Amino acid sequence: MTSRLRLLALFLLMLPLAALADGPSNKWRIQLNHSAKVDGEVELAFTPKGATATSVVVKIPAGTHENQAARLIRDAIRTQFGKSVYKTEIDDGEDVLVKTRGSTPNVEIVVVRNTAEGLGVNLDRE
């Protein structure tokens, strides 16, 4: 088997595993990197399993560094949902941890848009 065929076979074997990683989770990490060069907004969509999405829109002023952006996002999630639905906390200064509380179903979080040019926003399931 050529190395190209081996790579293709390995890729095809990994596809089902990648599909399992997608979907709702009870823990998320929102990673912020760098600084906003312009005024903008970060919009996140929270979709609990079996429910409709709720948007959280966060205004990000120009010059906002990753640590401050993390605090703005944490505070916006708390304002939108209160403290009984999701536990939100800052980790390492520039990350926001989001965990479901109590009977809150697992949730899918996606970045709908990020117009704060220069500020990186990445999501990871924990």
Q: pTM of this prediction? A: 0.82
Q: How many CB atoms lie within 10 A of CB 118?
A: 16
User: How many residues are given for the chain?
Assistant: 126
Query: 2 pLDDT band (50/70/90 cuts)?
Result: low
In the block, residue with structure tokens 């929102």 = 30
Q: Which domains does the chain have, with CATH numbers?
A: 23-125 (2.60.40.4390)
In the block, residue with structure tokens 């117009």 = 115
CA distances 91 to 17, 71, 96, Å, are 28, 10, 6
Q: Look at residue 21 and tell me whether its pLDDT is greater than 60.
A: no
